């Protein structure tokens, strides 16, 4: 089984985001191996389509992109105080700092190397997860001022993350915007002017131009999935296709049960196809009996339990003549294909989690782009 990642779809989606961003730059978020699409390949395609910067979670992810030859600015933002800042500074990675102890650790690494570290401050405007709270901001600014003064640190940006961007009109977005402006003003009072400010994820980038500041920071939309599926698809194209080849086709007689627990019993003689992809490969077991695949030119209902390595679909009288070796699309972006969004809706989760699912034995291939 395999996932195909269409880099032309990535480029298309980046262009849509750049249009919405207007004068703001686009940082493409490629954390978690590019939402499981391949961080380096996605980064190259996105930069070629007009994105300017890259965002990751960890130092490791950022350093790996450098090793892959990517020279664009890269920011990493979820760092422990004992993260490998020496490697980050050596690779010219911009370090997102969310606490005083982290800034101290970054400064120590910079001094050890005799190099200047580039730092962005992540401030907490209401998500209450990892940013610097307003109460701790002055002491961080005091230290940052000294570090900028002696050349240990370059102060690049102030940034923050939204809690309710998928509800564009929710007042929390306005509250976070105001608090963000207050943080920027406080920094200026300390004589610290960031080179840029950024706040917007995909949802805000597509719906709230007033939150774009100098740069937007989309992830999911780059991959062609809507951050607000109940509102719009925003013209985005899903980049990932998850597919597998039929292992065998066989007849099942009326009254026979299929798969563990016999949760599906044939009410007529029928034909079934065995697809060798299971929950170990990113087909969630709770989808059992609740999805369909694109096979032989139509949707085919999945029947019985999804197992670790395989599941079964019902072909009825198999008028389409499906045979072993034919390709079934589990989800993808073409007309007729099931969508990752359908799996998310059925499971009560979000499309992000679905595209992060395929793993292990699944082989990933990239199409398009200018490779």
Residues of the shown chain interacting with ligand PLP in the complex, contacts defined by CB under 6 A = 29, 31, 77, 161, 201-202, 217-220, 227
Q: Residue 4 or 203: which CB sits closer to ligand PLP?
A: 203
Q: Residue 58 or 202: which CB sits closer to ligand PLP?
A: 202
SS (H, E, C) 138-158: HHHHHHHHHHHHCCCEEEEEE
* SS3 call for 366: strand
Q: Could you give the dihedral angle defined by the CA atoms of residues 185, 115, 57 and 362, in that order, rounded to the nearest 10 degrees? A: 160
- What residues does 324 pair with on adjacent strands? none
- Shortest spacing between CB 159 and ligand PLP, in angstroms: 7
- What residues does 301 pair with on adjacent strands? 292
Report which secondary-structure segment, H or E, holds 70: none
Phi, psi (rounded to 5 degrees) for 327: -100, 130
For tokens 């450098």, the residue is: 66
Q: Residue 202 or 270: which CB sits closer to ligand PLP?
A: 202
- Shortest spacing between CB 371 and ligand PLP, in angstroms: 25
**C-alpha–C-alpha distance, residues 46 and 27, integer Å:** 9
Q: Are 209 and 199 in contact (CB under 8 A)?
A: no
Q: Of 137, 138, 83, 94, whose CA–CA distance to 116 is shortest?
A: 94
Give the CA radius of gyration of the chain: 24
Q: Is 371 annotated as a binding residue?
A: no
Give me the catalytic one of 31, 35, 122, 352: 31
**C-alpha–C-alpha distance, residues 75 and 119, integer Å:** 9
- Shortest spacing between CB 29 and ligand PLP, in angstroms: 4
Helices 137-149 and 171-189 cross at an angle (nearest 10°) of: 40
Tell me if residue 31 is catalytic.
yes
- Shortest spacing between CB 165 and ligand PLP, in angstroms: 7
Q: Are 217 and 297 in contact (CB under 8 A)?
A: no
Tell me if residue 250 is catalytic.
no
Q: Residue 37 or 161: which CB sits closer to ligand PLP?
A: 161
Give me the catalytic one of 35, 260, 279, 352: 260
Q: Is 215 annotated as a binding residue?
A: no
- Shortest spacing between CB 219 and ligand PLP, in angstroms: 3
Q: Residue 152 or 351: which CB sits closer to ligand PLP?
A: 351
| Residue ranges at the known binding site | 129, 308
Active site residues: 31, 260
* Numbered residues of the known binding site for substrate: 129, 308
């Amino acid at each position: 089984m395999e996932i195909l990642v269409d880099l032309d779809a990535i480029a298309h989606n980046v262009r849509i985001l750049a249009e919405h961003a207007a004068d703001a730059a686009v940082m493409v978020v490629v954390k978690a191996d590019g939402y499981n699409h391949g961080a380096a390949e996605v980064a190259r395609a996105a930069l070629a389509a007009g994105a300017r910067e890259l965002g990751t979670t960890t130092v490791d992810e950022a350093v790996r992109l450098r090793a892959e030859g990517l020279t664009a600015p890269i920011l990493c933002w979820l760092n422990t105080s004992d993260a490998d800042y020496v490697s980050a500074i050596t690779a010219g990675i911009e370090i997102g700092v969310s606490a005083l102890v982290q800034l101290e650790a970054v400064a120590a690494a910079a001094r050890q190397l005799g190099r200047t570290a580039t730092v962005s401050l992540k401030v907490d405007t209401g998500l209450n997860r990892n940013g610097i709270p307003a109460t701790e901001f002055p002491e961080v600014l005091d230290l940052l001022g000294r570090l900028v003064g002696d050349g240990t640190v370059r102060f690049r940006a102030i940034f923050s993350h939204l809690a309710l961007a998928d509800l564009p009109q929710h007042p929390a977005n306005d509250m976070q915007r105001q608090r963000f402006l207050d943080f920027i003003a406080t920094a200026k009072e300390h004589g610290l002017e960031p080179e840029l400010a950024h706040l917007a994820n995909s949802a805000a980038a597509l719906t709230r131009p007033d939150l774009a500041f100098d740069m937007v920071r989309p992830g999911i939309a780059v991959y062609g999935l809507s951050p607000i599926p109940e509102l719009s698809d925003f013209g985005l194209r899903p980049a990932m296709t998850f597919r597998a080849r039929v292992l065998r086709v066989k007849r099942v007689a009326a009254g026979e049960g299929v798969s563990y627990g016999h949760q599906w019993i044939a009410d007529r003689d029928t034909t079934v196809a065995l697809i060798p992809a299971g929950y170990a490969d990113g087909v969630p077991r709770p989808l059992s009996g609740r999805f369909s695949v694109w096979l032989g030119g139509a949707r085919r209902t999945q029947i019985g339990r999804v197992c670790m390595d395989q599941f079964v679909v019902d072909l009825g009288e198999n008028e389409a003549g499906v045979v072993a070796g034919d390709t079934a699309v589990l989800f993808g972006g073409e007309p007729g294909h099931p969508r990752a969004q359908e799996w998310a809706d059925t499971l009560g989760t979000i499309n992000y989690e679905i595209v992060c699912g395929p793993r292990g034995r699944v082989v990933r291939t990239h199409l398009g782009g200018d490779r």
